[in-house]
Amino acid sequence: MNTTLLTQSVAAQTETHQAVREASGLFSGTWLLIALPLLGAALLLLGGRRLDRTGHLVGCATVIASFVVAAVLFVAMLGEGSGERAFLIPLWEWFNAGGYEVEISLLLDQLSMAFVLLITGVGSLIHVYSIGYMEHDERRRRFFGYLNLFVAAMLLLVLASDFLVLFIGWEGVGLASYLLIGFWQHKPSAAVAAKKAFVVNRVGDMGMVLAVASMLVVFGSSSYAVVFAGTENAPVGWLNAIGLFLLLAACGKSAQFPLQSWLLDAMEGPTPVSALIHAATMVTAGVYLIVRSAAIFDLAPEARTAVVVVGAVTLLMGAIIGCAKDDIKKALAGSTMSQIGYMMLAAGLGPAGYAFAIFHLITHGFFKANLFLGAGSVMHGMNDEVDMRRFGALRAAMPVTFATFAIGYLAIIGIPPFAGFFSKDQIIEAAFAEGLVVGLCALLGAGITAFYMTRVMLMTFLGSKRWAEEAHPHESPRVMTWPLIALGALSVVGGAGLLYLGGGIVDWLEPVTGEEHHDLPVPLAVLMTSTLITVLAGAAVAWLLYGRRPVPEVAPRGNPLTVAARRDLYGDAVNEGLFMRPGQYLTRSLVYAESRGVDGTIVGAAKAVGGLSTRWRRWQTGFVRSYALTMLAGAGLVVIAMLLVRLP
């Protein structure tokens, strides 16, 4: 048990880090959070066909139970003092290899609590929604098993107290993501998308492995306590390296530039998966990783700058891609990239931005899940049509979906008093405090966000009917609309509630992330006004382009930027040109060198031996007289040799 060590070292840390106590009483049941969905996954995946009928209920029950546990723990945590809300729940020693020991233990503090609530809460809603959405899928039991597996892995990810344990959850969510993207594996596009997500994520995982290995070199351990306690004395070069490795890992998981290409294809999965994994929770794991590693990034300015740059670039890229997509899910996926870019940007700003990153992460979890589930509801009513050019005027046919989707829309573009306004505005403020360029990027992103979301809204719910002939749009069943309503409500009140209720999320997270205030270069009111004006301008441009004019059912050619955005800003082309083709050439040339060079040498040697043997074999005639002749000649030669040696 290195709990005492952990406690001491953390206590010795800077004032931003609170003391970690060994959990007792209620908090020692934290492991139930993970165990419940894991049990559900085991039941559903191993239980076989007898669970086909009730499987979805089991899946929902375990996650809801987990949410209840989380809620109880949250209330219990509220009862503790502000600086005493971090608990360590040691479970067992995983392995002990010489000087390196890893314990499976859970760390429940304010940050992980926020994530646990988000994962189990949104997860529960999406589970319930999936009952309706997957009703006609004969592999529904398996789907719920995978979802439960995902929730368990994601909870392990955020509850781990050691980077190596976090890595288990990290790979677990990757596996679940792979399985769920390729859930409709009979579609080649889904199988390919799953494989692509898997491969791109492996690149990020390499960064994670390198980061953990570097920690072992520098700190001799990968546990949070030891690593964060040792950052003060660690060389800055190493900290930067670890920070960049962690950033690579985060880029892979969170679909940030340059590893962004998999997320758009991941929309091949069922829509609840897109909502839960590829919008609300898993893709935000990178942000969690960076915020959790705050102690490292605080002391690694170069790595932090890289985070900011990656965030800003992805923010704009995702937004531009979102503008050009006609596929409603892909437009939302571009939006997700963009919003996570915001979070990364905020996380890269250091203590000034960590809390806002998490804040935006949570509100984004609400409204993006809401939007995706709304899109899923639309698809459900439109025979799985995803092309927005085939939608239009669905407002009357799907009133509930329209209402909730509109709330999500207002939330994401940041209209007060909806959730996105508070969280995004904070990030833009912090970005301006950091620097003008970063701030302008954030501001521009907000404008583009307004543009593409308005476009989605107009093309889907307003305008004229462009439906396919056999389409009979109808409102989704209640089991699907109730989660929508719940998420819509959260999208309305989540922002203000989290920011102001009981000291707000910033104070809540302060013991973990620290706090820092910058002075704004411009007055706050000016900034807020300009942000709103940008947003309204974006929406107005969209209305001019798509609201006033009829939307053509076949996409026009568009300008070069549109073409590029439709092709994901050539992300795949770059990957192919930079990595795939050279890799293929390299392997081909290696294969050639191997087959000709190495094999050639060996095969050639073998053939030479074989050929010589075939020749020499003829000497073995079997005739004893031939042998006698050879023997006589040999004996004669020996005698001659002896004489030659002796004679002189």
Binding site for another protein (CB under 8 A): 617, 620-626, 628-629, 632-633, 636, 639-640, 643
Nearer to another protein, 1 or 639 (CB): 639
Q: How far is Cα 590 from Cα 253, in angstroms, rounded to an integer?
A: 31
* CB 178 within 8 Å of CB 218: no
Q: How far is Cα 193 from Cα 328, in angstroms, rounded to an integer?
A: 17
Burial classification of residue 402, based on how many CB atoms lie within 10 Å of its CB (0-12 exposed, 13-18 middle, 19 or more buried): buried
The tokens for 437 are 């360029």
Residue 198, Ramachandran bin (φ over 0: left; ψ between -120 and 50: alpha; else beta): alpha
Q: Which residue matches tokens 């079997």?
A: 622
Nearer to another protein, 24 or 613 (CB): 613
How far is CA 428 from each of CA 78, 342, 402, rounded to the nearest angstrom? 30, 9, 29
Q: How far is Cα 196 from Cα 161, in angstroms, rounded to an integer?
A: 30
Residue 626 Cβ vs another protein, minimum distance, rounded to whole Å: 6
Helix, strand, coil in percent for the chain, rounding step 5: 75, 5, 20
| Residue 20: its H or E element | strand 20-22
Nearer to another protein, 603 or 633 (CB): 633
Q: By three-state DSSP, how is residue 103 classified?
A: strand
Nearer to another protein, 97 or 643 (CB): 643
Residue 632 Cβ vs another protein, minimum distance, rounded to whole Å: 5
Residue 205 Cβ vs another protein, minimum distance, rounded to whole Å: 57
Q: How far is Cα 560 from Cα 576, in angstroms, rounded to an integer?
A: 21
The tokens for 630 are 């050879």
Residue 608 Cβ vs another protein, minimum distance, rounded to whole Å: 19
Q: What's the DSSP call for residue 183? A: S
Residues in the chain: 648
Nearer to another protein, 561 or 629 (CB): 629
- CA angle, 616 as apex, 611 and 618 as ends, to 5°? 110
Sign of CA dihedral 9, 10, 15, 18: negative
Nearer to another protein, 552 or 622 (CB): 622
Q: How far is CA 13 from the centre of its chain?
A: 30
**Other beta carbons within 10 Å of 528:** 15
Residue 633 Cβ vs another protein, minimum distance, rounded to whole Å: 5
**Other beta carbons within 10 Å of 209:** 15
Nearer to another protein, 92 or 619 (CB): 619
Nearer to another protein, 436 or 628 (CB): 628
- CA angle, 444 as apex, 577 and 334 as ends, to 5°? 45
Residue 196 Cβ vs another protein, minimum distance, rounded to whole Å: 58
Residue 629 Cβ vs another protein, minimum distance, rounded to whole Å: 5
Q: Which residues are 223's β-sheet partners?
A: 162
Residue 622 Cβ vs another protein, minimum distance, rounded to whole Å: 3
Residue 617 Cβ vs another protein, minimum distance, rounded to whole Å: 6
Nearer to another protein, 600 or 636 (CB): 636
Tell me which residue of 2, 1, 508, 24 sits closest to 229, measured CA to CA.
2
Nearer to another protein, 99 or 622 (CB): 622
The tokens for 480 are 């699907």
Residue 627 Cβ vs another protein, minimum distance, rounded to whole Å: 10
Nearer to another protein, 525 or 643 (CB): 643
Q: How far is CA 159 from the centre of its chain?
A: 16
* CB 386 within 8 Å of CB 372: no
Residue 610 Cβ vs another protein, minimum distance, rounded to whole Å: 13
Q: By three-state DSSP, how is residue 259 classified?
A: coil
Nearer to another protein, 522 or 639 (CB): 639
Residue 586 Cβ vs another protein, minimum distance, rounded to whole Å: 46
Nearer to another protein, 92 or 623 (CB): 623
Nearer to another protein, 605 or 633 (CB): 633
Q: Which residues are 160's β-sheet partners?
A: 106
Q: How far is Cα 211 from Cα 224, in angstroms, rounded to an integer?
A: 13
The tokens for 479 are 């089991």
Residue 645 Cβ vs another protein, minimum distance, rounded to whole Å: 14
Residue 630 Cβ vs another protein, minimum distance, rounded to whole Å: 9
Rg (CA), the chain: 31
Nearer to another protein, 49 or 615 (CB): 615
Residue 638 Cβ vs another protein, minimum distance, rounded to whole Å: 11
Tell me which residue of 465, 481, 455 sits closest to 400, measured CA to CA.
481
Q: How far is Cα 176 from Cα 276, in angstroms, rounded to an integer?
A: 11
